[in-house]
């Protein structure tokens, strides 16, 4: 059984409350439950959310040391600002898929640039929470 981590960055703990017209009404707990319901027979999922850059970086290092098979990450705003997060992903040498709930290319210009995308094997944007499911499916097949 593959070990896959679902990492969420700043403000994703506010899913369902923060800008529901963009992010929907489902909570982070709803997302995690839906992922576990779909994949519990094929993957060991570890879910982690932090509003703190260093905590995400520490978690990526721990996943590497624990020999995880892949990461699905929504870095939130850190996607667009964090060289440190990018370096952690590059150094992990784990297949990683970046996910964005909204279509970042239909939003503000500053969201169009991802510093972390070059450290990932793919980017999924604009599929809502389904993007997480698609990312896990892909990691399970490859």
3-state SS, one letter per residue, for 81-118: CCHHHHHHHHHHCCCEEEEECCCHHHCCHHHHCCCCHH
> Quick one: pLDDT at residue 21?
86
- Taking the C-alpha atoms of residue 74 and residue 82, their distance in angstroms, rounded to an integer, is 13
28 near 8, Cβ under 8 Å? yes
Residue 109 has pLDDT above 90, yes or no: no
23 in active site: yes
Predicted TM-score of the model (pTM): 0.95
Q: Lowest-confidence range among 20-29, 34-43, 72-81?
A: 20-29
Sheet of strand 2-8: strand arrangement: 43-49, 2-8, 70-74, 96-100, 122-125
> Quick one: pLDDT at residue 2?
98
Residue 108 has pLDDT above 80, yes or no: no
Residue 37 has pLDDT above 80, yes or no: yes
> Quick one: pLDDT at residue 7?
98
- What's the pLDDT band for 133 if we cut at 50, 70, 90? very high
> Quick one: pLDDT at residue 112?
82
Give the active site residue among 52, 93, 100, 133. Answer: 100
Q: Which two tokens stand for residue 136?
A: 């896990």
Residue 25 has pLDDT above 90, yes or no: yes
100 in active site: yes
CATH number at residue 13: 3.40.50.9100
Counting every residue, how long is the chain? 142
Radius of gyration of the chain (CA): 14
User: Mean pLDDT, the chain, as a whole number?
Assistant: 96
Residues of the domain holding 115: 2-141
Q: How many domains does the chain fold into?
A: 1
- Taking the C-alpha atoms of residue 37 and residue 31, their distance in angstroms, rounded to an integer, is 10
> Quick one: pLDDT at residue 34?
98
């Amino acid at each position: 059984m593959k070990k896959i981590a679902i990492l969420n960055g700043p403000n994703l703990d506010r899913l369902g409350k923060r800008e529901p017209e963009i992010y929907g009404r489902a909570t982070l707990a709803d997302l995690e439950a839906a992922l576990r319901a779909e994949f519990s027979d094929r993957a060991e999922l570890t879910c982690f959310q932090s509003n703190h850059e260093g905590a995400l970086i520490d978690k990526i290092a721990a996943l590497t040391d624990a020999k995880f098979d892949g990461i699905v990450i929504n870095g939130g705003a850190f996607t667009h600002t964090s060289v440190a997060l990018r370096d952690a992903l590059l150094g992990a040498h784990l297949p990683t898929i970046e996910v964005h709930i909204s279509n970042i290319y239909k939003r503000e210009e500053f969201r169009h640039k991802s510093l972390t995308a070059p450290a990932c094997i793919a980017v999924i944007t604009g599929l809502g929470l389904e993007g997480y499911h698609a990312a896990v499916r892909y990691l399970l097949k490859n």
